[in-house]
Amino acid sequence: MYEVIITRPRTLAEAIDLLGSDESQPLAGGQTLIPTMKQRLAAPETLVSLSGVKELAGITRGDGEITIGATATHAEVARELADSYPALAALAGNIGDPAVRNRGTIGGSLANNDPAADYPAGALGGNATIITNDREIPADQFFGGMFTTALLEGEIITAVKFPLPDAAAYAKFDQPASRFALAGVFVARFGDVVRVAVTGASEEGVFRWEAAEQALSGDFSAAALDGMKPDAVGMIGDLHGSPEYRAHLVGVMARRAVAVAAG
């Protein structure tokens, strides 16, 4: 590591003011940023810790929706939503290891948009709205490719709003050491509308699998996806598997998620 100034604002307004410098960067759980800094892939002069900003904390339940504060940890989401949104709770409860789940935050995960992270699939598949200090962004308009989002300079996530689905589930095939998804699929049904979001498989990051959505809209069952898999073109090929293998995994995970959601 290297010398860095850490500031600890107590209010959102103070945090936004401190982030006005080009050399400052927000620090949420630090599960991505700190390792990145250790590798010298990022070198901010000032870190603005968001952990003490009460406006970014907590989980609230409204009429047919749940709003999760940006600094809510994965462990908190897993614990607090076990009854009200079990699919999202299960997703959060299977991220990384206990240390990561007790430090990592939903806001930090979405802002980083790692192509193998779990929350992007939950947000996109769950038709979430990402709330920032300046606006509200539908998940369909938030993710812009690998490590890229619609966030502007100085803009931070303050909360994430999820409508409650009629049925939902998440299934992933993970890398045993990191628990990152080699292929993860979040399926959610809202009336006659079905959303299917895939993470970990594509070179472009999280995406909606529209062919599966169409098939499930007419028959919300795992059988509706028999023999289906996305095109292998554009899928990740690495030491863990070929693009064809990733495409196959997406089909398998989608059927598993639907089986749980429909069951």
* Both structure tokens of 37: 């800094």
CA dist 96 and 88 (Å) reads 15
Residues 176 and 233 in one domain: yes
Residues 6+ apart with CB under 8 A from 163: 64, 65, 126, 127, 128, 190
Q: Are residues 212 and 154 in the same domain?
A: no
- pLDDT at residue 3 is higher than 90: no
Same structural domain, 94 and 173: no
Could you give the number of structural domains in the chain? 3
> What's the CATH code of the domain at 145?
3.30.465.10
Please report, for the domain that includes residue 209, its CATH number.
3.30.390.50
pTM: 0.94
Tokens 């929706």 correspond to 65
Residue with the larger pLDDT of the pair 206 and 1: 206
Report the pLDDT value the prediction gives residue 228, as an integer from 0 to 100: 97
pLDDT tens digits, 65-75: 999 999 999 99
Do 213 and 137 lie in one domain? The reply is no
What is the span of the domain harbouring residue 33? 5-49
92 and 134 in a single domain? The answer is yes
Same-domain status, 159 and 74: yes
Q: Which of 144, 163, 182 is the last residue of a domain?
A: 163
